[in-house]
């Protein structure tokens, strides 16, 4: 039973990353009509920025949790201003191709300087150790990742669904021209949205740094799984992305326990099943 | 929404004539390669990728469907051909057939699944399916995991042509490439190809005209996947191995890059793009990961400033269909 709970926890952690990443993808897709292929690369950048902050600037984990998403978010906003904005009005596919190119550049540069091996990032002192819950031993850091991700996801949902800014965002998703006519600066909102989505990915990167080590290709395979998550959940609903992300993480964890050979493929197999039964995805509208 | 390709030039008899002239010139140039001292292995490799890119282009350039998982057909056909040649000791022509058959079956299955979603979702689904296959091949015993299938015997094609001789192998690969290319050329200019273009331009309208667009897209997917498998089977004889790199997502990305550089929806673009990218990899091999950075930069530059690609720009300038 111990092993089962341990795998469930791993599943929940992976689920947190899926949720944070697919949430960012959904937010970006809503505003920019772009599938951000560079999402895995910015996730990796988040982890690397945390690593640099600690080793070059002596800035600890807690500040990195705040600073890394801001730094990477600014990098994202520069990308949006200098490149992505020129794709407005073109076919969706060009956005995918452009961000794929950006991902190759970013990952290639990091691979050049850091090879393919992982760099260690220590768990902050306050979150070291573990708790005995009676039925299992819970490493505190892992529990923290799950809880904190959940809080960030809910906060993002609240920001988009319940605040005035979120209302503008949703309105601009539906009809940007009309929202501009009301005097809202839609291009700036698009830039900020891209920054927000990218920042969420970077945050996931910082959270994963002490667990998965910091590697240039840490996001490259992950992003493909997240794409499958997005296909399963559909990108129409924020809450849908969060729930699908966590649920698939848990299912993956269970698979690791019951049938480890399939743990790499279970999300893709589920995607195929969902497509066969309900082609529009679980929460999605027709594309 | 603007479309992917510049298709203001219609399929007129003059366009067909231009295309045939360019085809003959291309065939003659390629046929003379063994006499020029150009390294034949490089050209053979480029020809396999050119065929793969042409098959991919059939789907995106004429069907408007961006597959981000075409490596799965290349790799599957490669593995199956390699297995047939090495373990079952089949002659080369049957080995190729086994590879093509495998890619055909795979494209039936993956096409049935992925064609259910449009646009951007289609790309993500094909990418995820190819990743699924990657993990299956990583664990399956017959692929030998990280090692791949190595030392594949080349054998004698039809019992006559000794494929271990570079020149003979070169002409066999060239004939295979030209046959595949002509088949794609024929498909594009057939009534089926015209319907495909109509669907790409305006799918609701094609539906309202009574076309079952899903069936057309499915057929295009199967044709494209099977031809990509043909490229994969040919590549086995050139590289004499089948490995995981052929199924990896980065291979799918390279195919997209080749077609983008050459020109989406142009007939000769994918061929030019394949030669450019393979040559680049050859000459920059010493630069390690910078090759990835350069490939990424080419993606970015192409998308931002050079969306027609090399052949697309030339065709646009001379107002010809190429």
CA distance B300 to chain A (A): 5
Output b/e per residue, B8-24; b: 16+ Cβ within 10 A: ebeeeeebeebbeebbe
Tens digit of each residue's pLDDT (9 = 90 or more) over A87-96: 888 888 899 9
Whether the pLDDT of residue B2 is over 80: the answer is no
Average pLDDT over residues A115-121: 87
Encoded tokens for B73:
């057909």
CA distance B173 to chain A (A): 31
| Percent of chain B residues past pLDDT 90, beyond the cut | 62
| Percent of chain B residues past pLDDT 70, beyond the cut | 96
The per-residue pLDDT for B174 is 95
The per-residue pLDDT for B11 is 57
Average pLDDT over residues B68-88: 94
Q: Could you say which of B119, B132, B297 has the minimum Cβ distance to residue A268? A: B132
Coil/strand/helix, residue A280? coil
Strands (DSSP E) along B13-152, which ranges? 149-150
Polymer length of chain A: 287
Confidence category of residue B5, pLDDT binned at 50, 70, 90: low
CA distance B1 to chain A (A): 6
pTM: 0.92
Whether the pLDDT of residue A286 is over 50: the answer is no
Q: Which of A226-235, B17-26, B230-239 has the highest mean pLDDT?
A: B230-239
Whether the pLDDT of residue A37 is over 90: the answer is yes
Average pLDDT over residues B61-77: 93
Are β-strands B149-150 and B241-242 bridged in parallel, bridged antiparallel, or unpaired? antiparallel
Q: What DSSP state is assigned to residue A266?
A: H
Average pLDDT over residues B7-23: 73
Tally of CB atoms within 10 A around B276: 18
Whether the pLDDT of residue B164 is over 90: the answer is no
The per-residue pLDDT for B10 is 53
Confidence category of residue B7, pLDDT binned at 50, 70, 90: low
Whether the pLDDT of residue B109 is over 90: the answer is yes
Average pLDDT over residues A243-264: 91
Residue A98: name the closest of B253, B316, B130 by CA.
B253
The per-residue pLDDT for B4 is 58
Whether the pLDDT of residue B215 is over 50: the answer is yes
The answer to whether the Cβ–Cβ distance between B297 and A227 falls below 8 Å is: no
Whether the pLDDT of residue A210 is over 70: the answer is yes
- B15 sits in which H/E element: helix B13-31
A 122-181 residues with CB < 8 A to B: none
Q: Which residue matches tokens 């009534």?
A: B191
ipTM for the whole complex: 0.90
The per-residue pLDDT for B43 is 93
- As a whole number of angstroms, the distance between CA A141 and CA B6 comes to 54
Average pLDDT, chain A: 90
Whether the pLDDT of residue B12 is over 70: the answer is no
- As a whole number of angstroms, the distance between CA B114 and CA B92 comes to 32
């Amino acid at each position: 039973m111990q092993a089962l709970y341990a795998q469930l926890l791993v599943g929940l952690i992976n689920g947190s990353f899926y949720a944070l990443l697919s949430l960012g993808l959904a937010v970006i897709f809503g505003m920019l009509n772009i599938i951000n292929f560079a999402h895995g690369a910015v996730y990796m950048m988040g982890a690397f920025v945390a690593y640099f902050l600690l080793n070059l600037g002596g800035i600890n984990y807690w500040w990195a949790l705040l600073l890394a998403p801001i730094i990477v978010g600014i990098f994202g906003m520069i990308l949006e201003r200098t490149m992505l904005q020129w794709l407005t009005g073109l076919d969706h596919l060009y956005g995918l191709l452009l961000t794929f190119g950006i991902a190759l550049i970013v990952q290639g540069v990091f691979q050049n300087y850091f090879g393919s091996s992982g760099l260690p990032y220590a768990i902050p002192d306050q979150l070291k150790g573990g708790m005995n819950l009676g039925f299992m031993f819970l490493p505190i850091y892992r529990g923290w990742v799950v809880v904190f991700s959940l809080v960030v996801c809910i906060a993002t949902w609240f920001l988009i669904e319940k605040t005035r800014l979120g209302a503008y965002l949703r309105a601009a998703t539906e009809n940007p021209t009309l929202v501009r006519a009301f005097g809202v600066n839609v291009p700036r909102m698009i830039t900020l949205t891209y920054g927000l989505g990218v920042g969420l990915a970077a945050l996931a990167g910082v959270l994963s740094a002490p667990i998965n080590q910091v590697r240039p290709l840490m996001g490259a395979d992950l992003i493909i799984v997240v794409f499958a998550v997005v296909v399963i959940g559909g990108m129409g609903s924020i809450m849908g992305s969060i729930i699908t992300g966590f649920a698939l993480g848990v299912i993956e964890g269970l698979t690791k326990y019951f049938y480890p050979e399939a743990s790499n493929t279970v999300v893709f197999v589920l995607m195929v099943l969902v497509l066969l039964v309900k082609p529009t995805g679980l929460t999605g509208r027709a594309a | 929404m603007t479309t992917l390709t510049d298709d203001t030039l219609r399929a007129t008899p003059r366009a067909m004539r231009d295309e045939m002239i360019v085809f003959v010139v291309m065939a003659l140039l390629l046929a003379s390669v063994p006499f020029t001292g150009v390294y034949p292995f490089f050209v053979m490799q480029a020809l396999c990728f050119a065929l793969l890119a042409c098959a991919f282009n059939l789907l995106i350039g004429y069907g408007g469907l961006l597959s981000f998982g075409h490596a799965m057909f290349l790799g599957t056909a490669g593995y199956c051909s390699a297995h047939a040649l090495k373990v079952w000791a089949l002659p080369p022509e049957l080995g190729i057939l086994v590879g093509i058959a495998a890619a055909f079956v795979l494209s039936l299955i993956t096409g049935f699944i992925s064609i259910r979603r449009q646009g951007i979702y289609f790309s993500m689904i094909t990418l995820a399916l190819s990743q699924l296959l990657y993990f299956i091949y990583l664990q399956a015993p017959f692929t030998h995991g990280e090692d791949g299938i190595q030392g594949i015997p080349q054998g004698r094609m039809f019992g006559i042509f000794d494929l271990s001789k570079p020149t003979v192998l070169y002409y066999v690969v060239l004939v295979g490439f030209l046959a595949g290319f002509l088949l794609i050329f024929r498909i594009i200019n057939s009534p089926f190809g015209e319907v495909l273009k109509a669907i790409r331009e305006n799918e609701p309208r094609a539906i309202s005209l009574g076309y079952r667009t899903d069936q057309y897209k499915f057929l295009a997917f199967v044709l494209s996947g099977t031809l990509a498998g043909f490229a994969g089977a040919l590549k086995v004889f050139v590289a004499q191995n089948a490995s995981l790199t052929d199924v990896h997502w980065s291979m799918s990305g390279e195919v997209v890059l080749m077609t983008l550089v050459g020109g989406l929806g142009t007939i000769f673009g994918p061929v030019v793009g394949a030669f450019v990218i393979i040559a680049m990899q050859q000459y920059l091999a010493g630069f390690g990961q910078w090759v990835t950075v350069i490939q990424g930069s080419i993606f970015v530059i192409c998308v931002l400033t050079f969306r027609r690609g090399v052949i697309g720009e030339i065709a646009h300038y001379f107002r010809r269909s190429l």
